[in-house]
Amino acid sequence: MPTLIPTPMRVTAVGNKPKLIHEYVGKATTKTSDVSVAHMTSPGGWLEPGQTPEFKEITLVLSGVLRVEHKSGFLDVHGGQSVICEPGEWVRYSTPEPEGAEYVAICLPAFSPSTVHRDE
């Protein structure tokens, strides 16, 4: 039988400015460990620490620009575009434009603070 998820759970974000994270599927909401799906709204100028996660992250940018820094430079992912970051790859996410960004992140397996491995 299908499972309805009536409301997402608000998850605390890391970074220099407040960012809204609403997890629909994942460890916090559905106790799911194989995948997580979260809707994010980041303000302009938001920046989080770099990370080397153990999970694959697929990000679909709905609006604005999400910057994805990596060891060789950076990608600016615009509304209507997506990006895939592989496990073990160092990345840092930010929203450099004044309007910020709205995006959906899907992590395989599910996002976990213990497997994201953020820089200190």
Per residue, the 3-state secondary structure of 6-70, as one string, reads CCCEEECCCCCCCCEEEEEECCCCCCCCCCEEEEEEECCCEECCCECCCCEEEEEEEEEEEEEEE
Domains detected in the chain: 9-36+45-111 (2.60.120.10)
Share of the chain above pLDDT 90, in %: 98
Instruction: Measure the CA–CA gap between 112 and 9, rounded to whole angstroms.
Output: 15
Q: Residue 68 and residue 76: Cα distance in Å, rounded? A: 6
**7-66 confidence digits (pLDDT tens):** 999 999 999 999 999 999 999 999 999 999 999 999 999 999 999 999 999 999 999 999
How many Cα atoms within 13 Å fall on the side-chain side of residue 50?
A: 12
Q: What per-residue confidence (pLDDT) applies to 20?
A: 97
Mean pLDDT of the chain: 97
Claim: this prediction has a pTM higher than 0.85: yes
Torsion (CA) 101, 41, 16, 31 in degrees, nearest 10? -130
Quickly state the pLDDT bin for 120 (edges 50, 70, 90).
confident
